[in-house]
Amino acid sequence: MRIRISLKSSDCEKLVERLRQAYANGQLRLVKRIHALLYILDGKSIDETAAILNLSEQSVYNYVKAFILKGFDSLVYRRPPGRPPRLTKSQRKELSQLIDEGPEAAGYDCGCWTTGLIDHRSDPRPDPHTLWCGVQSALPGGVVKEHGLLVSESPVRIRPAEQKQWMEKTWPEILRLAKEKGALLLFGDECSFAQWGSLSYTWARRGKQPTVKTSGKRKAYKVFGFIEYFTGALFYKGHTGKFTSVSYQDFITGVLACTKKHLFILQDGAKYHTSKAMKQFFAAHANRITVYQLPRYSPDFNPIEYLWRNVKKLATHLRYHPTFESLLNKVEEKLRYFANLPKSIKALMGKYCETLGVEAAA
């Protein structure tokens, strides 16, 4: 099929100039559209032009028809529309109002919008316990852009050589020995939960500083913890003092009293883990305890770090605790909650299971 059109020389030059602009601006869809017109002006048929530009014949026909009817006004670059919006105008208006009023007005105990708090279905208040496994956001990208929301990310520091040595040699040997001995394989760490709250990534309108109430009290609830690789068991002990070798020994002694099995403890290089007092303690309990040091600067190699992160999401992130007692009760509540989810705790071991092809459950 052939369509014959002709233009004045000045209009042809204008068309070529518009093509140059489209190339310069990276408007590739408009580039194809103008090329189609130039091929038709050169005497090529609809099907020949479609084959050259890898377009459908209908698209080429529509380009020519639009140019005949609207002229250069048809050569306007439009971004691809993408998927149709999932929210109606009234729902978008309601969402905008929710964002402005803040999460506390919506019934949450959180001062700022955080991951997963907004749900676009009939109930905008999902159970926060369903959000702890690392859902990054319930807001689709289009809504984030439409409402002018921002979220930031943080860099990490790594030691590739040590990590490779750990994953390829050290860890497989630890796993083999723990199975042979029938031992508990414990990833250990500590966490401090601050009464003044903890800040986290949040949603807010551009140009509007998000705020959250704080007691200003410089107190924190300290917790020692172990999570067990094979069963997903959680051992923890909270106290109001500092992390020291003495308090660490008290925690381990309590774990020893809970089981007759040998303990394989995987810990980081904190001073109260590796002090002279701790070396003497481990030596005195060598018949019950074997200790290994995790790679340096590798918190992601210790699965309990993810547990602490998730407890903080529910207990302190962007939350207001007017008294130390309210903080203590909230942290203990969330620790008990996770202690009853051994399968979810085993899911935190994904780095080791995925890398080595080992099932978490024996």
pLDDT digits (tens, 9 = 90+) for 188-229: 999 999 998 888 777 777 788 888 888 888 899 999 999 999
pLDDT digits (tens, 9 = 90+) for 256-291: 999 999 999 999 999 999 999 999 999 999 999 999
pLDDT digits (tens, 9 = 90+) for 43-66: 888 888 888 888 898 988 998 888
CATH of 160-356, one of 3.40.1410.10, 3.30.420.10, 3.40.640.10, 3.40.250.10: 3.30.420.10
The rounded distance, in Å, linking the Cα atoms of 210 and 105 is 14
Q: Where are the alpha helices (DSSP H) in 54-154?
A: 57-70, 89-101, 141-146
Which strand (E) or helix (H) includes residue 290? strand 289-293
Backbone angles phi and psi of 181, in degrees to 5: -85, -10
Calculated CA dihedral for residues 161, 229, 354, 293, nearest 10 degrees: 0
The rounded distance, in Å, linking the Cα atoms of 19 and 4 is 21
Tokens of 286: 């060598």
The rounded distance, in Å, linking the Cα atoms of 316 and 335 is 13
Domain range annotation of the chain:
9-74, 89-146, 160-356
Going from the C-alpha of 259 to that of each of 17, 36, 62, 186, the distances in angstroms are: 81, 78, 77, 13
Q: Which class does domain 9-74 fall in?
A: mainly alpha
pLDDT for residue 121: 38
pLDDT for residue 27: 83
The rounded distance, in Å, linking the Cα atoms of 271 and 263 is 20
Nearest to 105 by CA among 124, 122, 130: 124
pLDDT for residue 306: 93
pLDDT for residue 185: 97
Comparing 131-135, 136-140, 252-256, the range with the smallest average pLDDT is 131-135
Nearest to 196 by CA among 314, 102, 322: 322
Report the predicted TM-score, pTM, of the whole model to 2 decimal places: 0.59
pLDDT over 70, % of the chain: 81
Give the three-class secondary structure for 110: coil
Q: Is the pLDDT of residue 92 over 50?
A: yes
